[in-house]
Structure formats: structure tokens, C-alpha cells
Amino acid sequence: MAEQQPAYADFEDYRYMQRIVVVVRWFVIASWLAINHYRVTWDETLLYVDLIGVGMVILNGWLHLRLSQDRPLSRRFAIGMSIADVVAITVGIAVTGRFDNIFFVLYYPALVGLALVVSSARFSVLLVSLTAVAYSLVSIILRPGVDTGVAEERDLAGRIIGMYAIVLAANLVTKIERGRRLEAVEAERERSAENLRLQKIAQDAEIAAAEQRFKIRREIHDGLVQSLYALTLQLASTATEAQRTAPGRISDRISKLVPLSRQTLLEARHYLHDLNPMLAGEGELSEVMGNLCSEFESVTEIPVELIVSGDPLQVPDETEAQLCRILQEALANVLKHSGAKSVNVTLSYSEASVTVRISDDGRGFSVSDTHHGFGLESITTRTQELGGTAEIVSEGGEGTKVEVTVPVAIPVGGSDEG
């Protein structure tokens, strides 16, 4: 995925500075109308001034609309608009009061707008020099012009010096701001590069860990689990044969080894799940739970019936994984403690929650008198971490029921848009 560049890093887009210039230009236009229409009689000269003003209104309105639509502006376009401001002011001064017209003060905001666009000091000096020359010619040649007898040339010089001062100051501010933006861009690039480096290190570490888990899982599956499975079969077969041919103390001890071997085999297979992300490529929650129930039945020879009710919901992966762990813990407790002949597992989907219920027909226990073992505590803890509730119901001789309900998301294929 291409990295998105921050807005301040685009030095060829002048929208942000032009928003300032647009405001300044509206001020210039308003001042233009106020100064040239205050206590004057409308005539042909004022018509020319108004036509220039209308042109400025149209140009600035169009630019304002362009900015409101968030359309990019090039440097050439921005400079052209600012030059049009200076030309309009100069023409307006030439056709009205010339040197006596106080409209010259509007040069300053217009030239500030120009300096905000031009980053080169030399180019800025060139533009303000051309403006100064044009204003000087209008002030000296056209009547009423500069009266040297009353030292008006000093006023002209002061106005021109003010033009240079404000342009150079604005240009300096622009260069400082541009430099800060360059520093920010470089800092952002360095941060992005560092984040990418750290992300790659994390990904490489995760890949290495996954490969190592796969190797361990394969060794356990191909070695330990297969040996335990073969041992369990041999013990079961030997116990049956011993009970048939030579019942007694030895056959009883062999028979007691069979559930222990099955429990060890089941725990070893649980370790395989721990080494492999639960639900990774294994299908939906009901399918994975079905596999776990079939596995338990195959290892322990205790029948397990899985019932699924309700429409499947979109459940977060972590929630699904925890529910499968809870099912494993509950089934392990059945094997270790219950002496059950059968197990029923129900997976129920409701509007905003999912419930897993594991019930057996074993010997049961008194919930109030018996301290919960690690397995039941683990079930309760996992459920609380998911924001759900866990209920354990059991009485001596009446089996045990473990019911877990956790909140979930939305129906599969639905939408989370409200």
C-alpha cells in the first residue's frame, strides 16, 4: 500500500496560502469600493474603476469557489492572480487621483499576498521593483503628480520603501514557514521509515515463531501423539484381554491405566492446538467445535452429541478461540472427574450473544461444598475476559452442566452501519 503523503508535504499545492490571500483580496476589493465611492460623483472615470472592481470580484469569487471545492492550485496560477491584483490597483490609481489617491495603501496587502506565493527573494524583489516603477511613473508623469516644491518626492520614496519592506518581510516569513514544513516532512519520513523497519522486524519475528511452532507441533504430532495413541490402544486391548483371561489385581491396575493414557493423549492433542492458532483455516465456530467433539469421542470413547441452534453470528476471532478453549477445558473435566457415559454440547446463537452448554451424565459434585479446580476456574476467567457469564450447575449423582454466554457482533452477512 502506498504511503499517504501529509498535506503539508505538498509544496506545489498553494491552496492553504491562497485561503489567506482570498481573505486579503476581499478586504482590498471592499476598500476599493469604499475609497472610490466615498463622497464622489459617478462619472466615466468611476465607471472604469468599477469595471476593474467587478473584474476583481469575479476572479476572487471564482478562486474562492475553487478553494471551497478543495481543488488544487498551482504556483503559476497563484502568482498570476496576485499580479492581477497589483495591475488592477495600479490602473485604478492611474485613472483616478494618481499620486493624491490614498488607494496606494492597498498595494501592501496585495503585495503580501504575492510574497506568500513567491518563495524566491530575487523574484519577490523583481516583482516589487516593477510595481514600484509603475507606481512612480503614474505618480510623476500623470497629473496631479509629485510636487517637488513641497517635498512630495519624499512621500513617494517612503511609499516605495514600505512596499519593499513588507514584501521582504512576508517573503522571509514564507521561507521560514517553508523550512519548518521541510523539517516536518523529513521528520515524518524518518518516523515512517523507522515504523516500517520495526514492523518488518516484528513480522520476521512472528514468521520465525510460527515456523518454530510448526516444527514443534509436527514433532509432537508425528512422535509423541502417535506413540500415545498406539499406547492407549494397546492398553485398552490388554485390559480387555486381562479381564477376560485373568481377572484380578493386575488386570484392574491395567484397566486403571487406560483412562490415564487417554487423558494424556487428549492433553497432548490440546497442546497441538496451543501451538497452532485456533480456528486458523479450520472453518466456522460450529465446525471447529464439531471437530473437537469428534476428537474427544475418538480418544475417550465417550459419545458426544453437538447441537447447533440459531443463525450464525459474526463473532470476533479471539472470542471464537476462547470459546473453543472453554469447550476443551469442560471436556477435559468430564474425562478426569465425571465418569460420564455421554456428553451433550449445545452451541446457541441469539440476537447479540452466543451460548455454549456442556452437560454430562456423570457422578456430579456439590458446587457449594467443593472448591473449583483449575479447569473450572479457567473457564470462569476466560468467560469474564470476554465480558460474558459462566454458570456451573452440578449435584451429586446428577451430572454437571457448564453454561457460558458471551456477547458477540452481528449476523453473518449483515451490516454494522446504524
Name the one residue in this structure whose C-alpha cell is 451433550: 344
Class of residue 223 by CB neighbours under 10 A (exposed 0-12, middle 13-18, buried 19+): exposed
Compute the mean pLDDT over every residue in the chain, rounded to the nearest whole number: 79
| Omega within 30 of 0 (cis) for the link into 144 | yes
- Is 127 a residue whose pLDDT tops 80? yes
- SS3 of residue 349 by DSSP: strand
Most confident of 68-77, 178-187, 192-201, 232-241: 192-201
- Is 394 a residue whose pLDDT tops 60? yes
Decide which of 277 and 142 is more confident. Answer: 142
Domain extents in the chain: 7-196, 302-413
pLDDT level of residue 13 (50, 70, 90 thresholds):
low
- Is 277 a residue whose pLDDT tops 70? no
User: What are the tens digits of pLDDT across the range 330-381?
Assistant: 888 887 778 889 999 999 998 889 999 999 998 888 776 655 555 678 888 8
Amino acid type, 161: I
Decide which of 290 and 260 is more confident. Answer: 290
**CATH for 302-413 (1.25.40.80, 3.30.70.20, 3.40.462.40, 3.30.565.10):** 3.30.565.10
Decide which of 315 and 5 is more confident. Answer: 315
- Is 278 a residue whose pLDDT tops 60? no
Confidence at residue 282, expressed as pLDDT on a 0 to 100 scale: 53
CA distance 333 to 159: 95
User: What are the tens digits of pLDDT across the range 293-312?
Assistant: 887 887 778 899 999 998 88
CA distance 147 to 100: 10
pLDDT level of residue 194 (50, 70, 90 thresholds):
very high
User: What are the tens digits of pLDDT across the range 304-336?
Assistant: 999 999 888 888 888 888 898 888 888 888 877
Confidence at residue 159, expressed as pLDDT on a 0 to 100 scale: 92
Instruction: Residue count of the chain, please give it.
Output: 418
Please, are residues 279 and 309 in contact by the beta-carbon 8 Å criterion? no
- Is 103 a residue whose pLDDT tops 50? yes
Please, are residues 280 and 287 in contact by the beta-carbon 8 Å criterion? no
- Is 280 a residue whose pLDDT tops 60? no
The arithmetic mean of pLDDT across residues 260-282, rounded, is: 59
| Stretch among 53-62, 242-251, 390-399 having the lowest mean pLDDT | 242-251
Task: Quickly list DSSP for 94-157.
Answer: HHTTGGG-GGGGGHHHHHHHHHHH---HHHHHHHHHHHHHHHHHHHHHSSS---GGGTHHHHHH
Nearest CA among 7, 60, 4 for reference residue 29: 60
First-to-last alpha carbon distance for the chain, in angstroms, is 29
Confidence at residue 233, expressed as pLDDT on a 0 to 100 scale: 62
Class of residue 244 by CB neighbours under 10 A (exposed 0-12, middle 13-18, buried 19+): exposed
C-alpha dihedral, 252 to 256 to 259 to 262, nearest 10°: -100
- CA count, 13 A, side-chain hemisphere, 194: 6
Please, are residues 232 and 258 in contact by the beta-carbon 8 Å criterion? yes
